[in-house]
Structure 1
Amino acid sequence: MPFHILTGSFVHESNTFKKGETTLQDFRNDVLDLGQAAIDRFGDVNEELAGFLDIGRKAGWQITHTVSAHATPGARVAREAFDHIAGLICDSARQHRHTLDGILLSLHGSMVPTFCEDGEGELLHRLRGIVGPDMPIAVTLDLHAMVTPAMVAAAQIMVSYKTYPHIDMRETGRHAARLLDAMLHGKTRPTTLRTHLPMLDEANAGRTDVPQTAALYTRATQHESEPGILAVSINAGFAEADILEAGPTVLVSYDQNIPSADTRARAIAEGLANTIWAQRDSVSNDFLTPATAAQQARDFDANHGPLVIADYADNPGAGAYGDATALLQALFDAKATGGAFAPMIDPQGAAILHRHNTGDHVTLALGGKQDSSFGGGPLTVTGEIIHLSDGSYTGNGPILGGITHSFGPTAVLRVNGIDILVVTQPAQMLDLMQVRTFGIEPASLRFLVVKSMQHFRAAFEPIAGKVIVCDTGALATPQAHLRPYTRVRRPVWPLDRTGFSRA
């Protein structure tokens, strides 16, 4: 009989400083696909489910896929949303528990519901209550996971991404599935150990285009060729979540059947953790002020491609509101023209623009409506509507290739020589089709503002004449002291500079 494997995906990165809740409708607006619908959408793209299926088909598994649920990073996950999606996975486990041989889940690792601090740990705890303590469970995690002891206790196998920008999701799924298959065949007896660091996140948030950080992931991969070492995962953490177990972790899944593998796993984890700690002040980004970034935009020679300006602090991919106006105001003040700004997440503004026609000139209050203390308040602007759309786009780059998403009702408003992509649904900039679909061609621009920390580099850096990074003071600002932490265990770097036990 083939092994019967239950699969599922429940992914959210929760910014605990953001107002409101991430609702079930937010998941529906992004991804909430059941069973075959999820397989049809994600079965042959750069996504963990595709990796699960790659190995599962080769191994002859019978796969029952429950749900693929993703929402753009945002506020804590509402209890209704968590219980509904977790319930879909748990109900299926309950229905099939007498025939199940294993469970394979794609999670994030930084989901914080409204009723607890550890969404993934809560889901795994509920599953264990259904399938018992011995059922093989393998989990994939985002590189920015905040891995808790409860998560490690509930799953034998954990495998995280090793790239940021994340371009190895499918391979991560394959890795976890291969380890699960070996366990099912009795070839290994995995368990996972965890080492935690007293930091909000790794110095470069896990950037694998930074040599000293990339070297950590190279070491992790090399260690995986050692006897008994099954997976080495370096989780950079997520500084925008204020929970007790916040911070980077190193995980090592190892084979308990191999003598001394536990000792070697501990040495590997401690060695990598010590390097992360030693490099804690080695930040590679040069964070420019909005005024400085705007001056460079105004004066940039785009003969070899546009100046790409990353609005790091207003990254929707870190749960920021995506409506900060500080950089846009600076561009207006500097009289920078010939550029584009993407996106401005403003449902009210998009709705107003959609009451007009292409070519109309409209005056409205744009952006800054969520929390003006982070990144600036609304700007009153007058511009010409260049494009109107339902917001649907299909990516063709390293991260979103072949995957369709939607910004919801979307407009391009040209104001003072800058084309502003005004959208309804939140998303960070990951793919060139997120602008090209709406008539914005980067090759024709002097500058392009993208609301993203790092993921934009996979698609936008190759076409850029130069990339710069701006701190607009929005919710995901690198100035962590501007966020009111109350839950994280202290001392913690960089909020504290003394009192640490780690040498």
Structure 2
Amino acid sequence: MPFHVLTGSFVHESNTFKKGETTLQDFRDAVLDEGQVAIDRFGDVNDELAGFLDAGREAGWRITHTVSAHANPGAPVSRAAFDHIAAIICDAAAEQRATLDGILLSLHGSMVPAFCEDGEGELLARLREVVGPDLPVAVTLDLHAMVTPAMVERAQILVSYKTYPHVDMRETGRHAGRLLDAAMRGAVRPATLRAHRPMLDEANAGRTDVPETAALYARARAHEAEPGILAVSVNAGFSEADITEMGPTVLVTHDLGAETRAREIAEALADTIWDQRGHVFNDFLTPAAAAAEARDFDAAKGPLVIADYADNPGAGAYGDATALLDALLKAGATGGAFAPMIDPAAAAELHRHKVGETVTLDLGGKRDPAFGGGPMRLTGEIVHLSDGTYTGDGPILGGITHSFGPTAVFRVQGIDILVVTLNEQMLDLQQVRAFGIEPARLRFLVVKSMQHFRAAFEPIAGRVIVCDTGALATPQAHLRPYTRVRRPVWPLDRTGFAPSR
């Protein structure tokens, strides 16, 4: 008889400093697909589910897929949303319990529900109540997971991405699936251990284009070739989620008998993370400095790409900070684009008009003006209107269709501003090209993203610079009011640390 495996995906990266909650509607606006609908959408793209299916085909499993649920990073997940999605997975496990041989889940690792600090640990606890303590459970995690002791106690196998920008989702799913198959066959008896360091996150947030950080992942891959070492995961952490157990971790999933070597590997990698804690690679420009570069840039070899790092919706920032746009307009920078400005009210107002009309409105800065600037009163021309649908063609979103919701391109003083309704960071060139903005014709392009933009936008850029606009995801962590994290913690504290081991 083939092994019967239950699969599911429940992904959210929660910014605990963001106002409000992430609701069930937010999941519906992004991804909330059950069963075959999810398989049809994600079964042959760069997604963990595709990797699960790859592993299942190799081994001849019978797969029951429950749900693929993914909301864009944002405020803590509401209890109603968490309970609803968790119930889809747990109810299916209860219904199929008599025939289940294993469970394979795609999670994030930094989900914070409104009612607890550890969404993944809570989901796994509910599952264990259904299936008992021994059924093999394998989990994939984002590289920015904040892995808690509860998570490693409740899943025998954990495998995280090894790239940032994340381009190895399918590969990670396949890796976890193969380990689950070996566990179900009795070829291995896996367990996972965890090493943690008192930091908000790894110095470069896990960037695999930074040599020192990339070396951590190269070491992890090399260790996976050792006898008994099944998976080595280096998790950078997520500094925008304030929980007790936040910070970078190293996980080693190992076979029975390899625990001592696994502990050596985990602690050595964690020691390196700690030793490199002050080695920050990015040069963060002020809005005024970035705007001056944009005004004067020679785009003969491609546009200047400016990352609005601090207003990255992918880190739960609001995506409506105006500090950089204000600086660009004051500097007289022209021939550029700004993407996106997440402002549902402005998008709706623009959709009450027609292409070619001149409109005056308040744009951006409406969610929390203290982070990144308040609303700007602007007059401009509508040059494009759309329902916001696009299909990615790059390394991260290739073949996947998403929507910004009602979307407009609003031209103000020679800058095309992509005004959108739904929350999303810049990951793919189609997020601008689908709306008539061609990067090759620009002097500069602002993208609200920290790092993921590089996979698609860096190859077409003449140069890339990074700007700190003081928005919610600012690298100046002291501007956020941490109350839960265990102290001392780097870089909020510089003294008082015990030896790393």
Residues in 2 aligned to 1:354 and 1:196: alpha-carbon distance in whole angstroms: 49
SS at match of 1:303: helix
2:387 is the counterpart of 1:399: no
Q: Which among 364, 367, 370 is matched to residue 370 of structure 1?
A: 367
2:410 is the counterpart of 1:410: no
Residues in 1 aligned to 2:195 and 2:498: alpha-carbon distance in whole angstroms: 14
Aligned AA for 1:223? H
Aligned AA for 2:342? I
Aligned position for 2:53: 53
Residues in 1 aligned to 2:224 and 2:57: alpha-carbon distance in whole angstroms: 24
SS at match of 1:502: coil
2:170 is the counterpart of 1:170: yes
Aligned position for 1:247: 247
Aligned AA for 1:267? E
Aligned position for 1:486: 483
Aligned position for 1:471: 468
1:502: Cα distance to partner?
A: 2.8
Aligned position for 2:154: 154
Aligned AA for 1:444? R
Aligned AA for 1:232? V
Aligned position for 1:264: 261
Aligned position for 2:435: 438
Aligned AA for 2:399? G
Residues in 2 aligned to 1:264 and 1:429: alpha-carbon distance in whole angstroms: 40
Residues in 1 aligned to 2:4 and 2:185: alpha-carbon distance in whole angstroms: 13
2:189 is the counterpart of 1:189: yes
Residues in 2 aligned to 1:438 and 1:500: alpha-carbon distance in whole angstroms: 51
2:299 is the counterpart of 1:302: yes
Aligned position for 2:64: 64
Residues in 2 aligned to 1:397 and 1:374: alpha-carbon distance in whole angstroms: 31
Aligned position for 2:31: 31
Aligned position for 1:382: 379
Deviations 1:69-95 (A, max 9, x none): 000000000000000000000000000
Residues in 2 aligned to 1:355 and 1:72: alpha-carbon distance in whole angstroms: 27
1:349: Cα distance to partner?
A: 0.2
Deviations 1:248-272 (A, max 9, x none): 000000001xx3x111000000100
Residues in 1 aligned to 2:32 and 2:60: alpha-carbon distance in whole angstroms: 27
Aligned AA for 2:6? L
Root-mean-square deviation (Å): 0.4
Aligned AA for 1:219? R
Alignment of 1:3-402 (within 5 A): 3-256=3-256, 259=257, 261-402=258-399
SS at match of 1:218: helix
Residues in 2 aligned to 1:182 and 1:330: alpha-carbon distance in whole angstroms: 56
2:501 is the counterpart of 1:498: no
Structure 1 outlier segments of 4+, above 2 Å: none
1:448: Cα distance to partner?
A: 0.0
Residues in 2 aligned to 1:130 and 1:268: alpha-carbon distance in whole angstroms: 33
The normalised TM-score by structure 1 is 0.99
1:150: Cα distance to partner?
A: 0.4
Residues in 2 aligned to 1:77 and 1:460: alpha-carbon distance in whole angstroms: 31
Residues in 2 aligned to 1:71 and 1:197: alpha-carbon distance in whole angstroms: 29
Count residues with an aligned counterpart: 500
Residues in 2 aligned to 1:275 and 1:299: alpha-carbon distance in whole angstroms: 40
Aligned position for 2:457: 460
Q: What residue ranges of structure 1 are gaps of 5+ in the alignment?
A: none
2:418 is the counterpart of 1:421: yes
Deviations 1:399-437 (A, max 9, x none): 000000000000000000000000000000000000000
Residues in 2 aligned to 1:134 and 1:185: alpha-carbon distance in whole angstroms: 14
Residues in 1 aligned to 2:91 and 2:499: alpha-carbon distance in whole angstroms: 43
Aligned AA for 1:242? D
Residues in 2 aligned to 1:316 and 1:122: alpha-carbon distance in whole angstroms: 25
Sequence identity, in percent? 80
SS at match of 2:299: coil
Aligned AA for 1:311? D
SS at match of 1:488: coil
Residues in 2 aligned to 1:97 and 1:115: alpha-carbon distance in whole angstroms: 28
Residues in 1 aligned to 2:164 and 2:489: alpha-carbon distance in whole angstroms: 23
Residues in 2 aligned to 1:383 and 1:429: alpha-carbon distance in whole angstroms: 23
Residues in 1 aligned to 2:390 and 2:497: alpha-carbon distance in whole angstroms: 48
1:58: Cα distance to partner?
A: 1.4
